[in-house]
Amino acid sequence: MSLFSEDEPQPVEIKGNSLTCPVCTNKLFWTRDAQLNTPVATFFNLDWANRSATCFVCSDCTHILWFLGK
């Protein structure tokens, strides 16, 4: 099983704009979903109820860009 949703990095578009890495200006990213855990939900074993974020990981420098929602 791969850590990322796709095997090869892909270009990403956000609100009609091509995503560019702010560190290295690369335009190819791997996509991954991440759980935004909170201490209270974890204490009550309710991590499933926390929000998720979509992360785009630069295929060149591995800088991570986080976006709430899909």
**Domain spans of the chain, in order of start:** 13-68
pLDDT > 80? residue 9: yes
49/34: higher pLDDT = 34
Reported confidence tier of residue 34, pLDDT bands at 50, 70, 90? confident
**Quick one: CATH architecture of 13-68?**
Single Sheet (2.20)
Work out the mean pLDDT of the chain and round it to a whole number. 81
Distance CA 39, CA 25 (A): 35
SS3 state of residue 49: helix
Task: Enter the pTM of the model.
Answer: 0.72
Beta-strand ranges (E) seen in the chain are 13-14, 17-18, 29-35, 52-58, 64-68
Average pLDDT over residues 19-23: 98
Check residues 7 and 62 and name the one with the higher pLDDT. Answer: 62
Cα atoms in the Cβ-side hemisphere of radius 13 Å centred on 51: 7
